């Protein structure tokens, strides 16, 4: 039997409110656990001096700092996040690191990226964010990523995933996601398959375990 993806049963307003509340605590609650996987994703994206990169769902801004350093003074990083609480923390972090001038931060729903010109970016990065979009929105977000990347541009996605059949930790996690969607809000998805379906050529894909939950790190290229 084909494994299905759980639906997202909260509104964007609830997501924003939840991340606003969580923003001051996010690094304490999730930062340490997720860092290793985010860093692998950044390694796969491998942003270079002079490049233009977008991060979707930048959270407290750790990856924005790495990306801004990687693209250097001639590059540009843009970030979009739905939470103003997260944006305030990310902005503070970038200023402390002296990188504020290199990064544009936008508040908004990344299901709509019409503020980015078609074919204008070298790379897009997403960690633990694609799995927050409801099933019909995942292809829409990926199509938007494809639209804004130049030919040969890269998309790196770090996301929870699951095997078929799913292991016990995933079954327990999905139950939590169903009953407490604001606490276990990321849910396992099939990022690699969705990226392929959206026309990305998969360059690299690996799966690693986070407390028994599989995490997929995928690099795709726009042909």
Interface with ligand SAM by CB under 6 A: which residues?
A: 12, 15, 19, 34, 38, 56-59, 80-83, 86, 109-111, 127-129, 132, 186
**Which of 19, 173 has the CB closer to ligand SAM?**
19
Do 37 and 61 meet the contact criterion of CB atoms below 8 Å apart? no
**Which of 30, 73 has the CB closer to ligand SAM?**
30
Instruction: State the minimum distance, in angstroms, from the CB of residue 207 to ligand SAM.
Output: 17
Instruction: State the minimum distance, in angstroms, from the CB of residue 3 to ligand SAM.
Output: 22
**Which of 58, 200 has the CB closer to ligand SAM?**
58
Instruction: State the minimum distance, in angstroms, from the CB of residue 218 to ligand SAM.
Output: 15
Q: Which residues of 135-169 are buried (b: 16+ CB within 10 A; e: fewer)?
A: eebbebbbebbbbbbeeebbbbbbbbbbeeebeee
Instruction: State the minimum distance, in angstroms, from the CB of residue 165 to ligand SAM.
Output: 26
As a whole number of angstroms, the distance between CA 112 and CA 141 comes to: 7
Nearest to 52 by CA among 128, 119, 4: 119
**Which of 127, 161 has the CB closer to ligand SAM?**
127
């Amino acid at each position: 039997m084909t494994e299905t993806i759980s639906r997202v049963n909260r509104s964007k307003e609830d997501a924003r409110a939840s991340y606003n509340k969580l923003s001051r605590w996010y690094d304490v609650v999730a930062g340490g656990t997720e860092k290793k996987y985010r860093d692998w994703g950044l390694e796969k994206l491998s942003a270079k001096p002079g490049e233009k990169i977008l991060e979707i769902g930048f959270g407290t801004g750790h990856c924005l700092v790495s990306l801004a350093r990687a693209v250097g003074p001639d590059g540009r990083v843009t970030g979009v996040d739905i939470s103003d609480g997260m944006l305030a923390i990310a902005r503070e972090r970038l200023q402390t690191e002296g990188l504020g001038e290199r990064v544009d931060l936008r508040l908004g729903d990344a299901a709509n990226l019409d503020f980015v010109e078609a074919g204008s970016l070298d790379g897009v990065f997403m960690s633990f964010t694609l799995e927050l979009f409801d099933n019909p929105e995942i292809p829409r977000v990926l199509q938007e990523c494809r639209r804004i990347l130049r030919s040969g541009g890269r998309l790196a996605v770090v996301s929870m995933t699951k095997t078929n059949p799913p292991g016990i930790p995933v079954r327990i996690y999905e139950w939590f996601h169903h009953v407490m969607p604001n606490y276990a809000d990321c849910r396992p998805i099939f990022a690699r398959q969705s990226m392929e379906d959206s026309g990305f050529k998969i360059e690299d894909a690996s799966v690693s375990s986070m407390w028994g939950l599989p995490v997929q790190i995928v690099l795709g290229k726009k042909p």
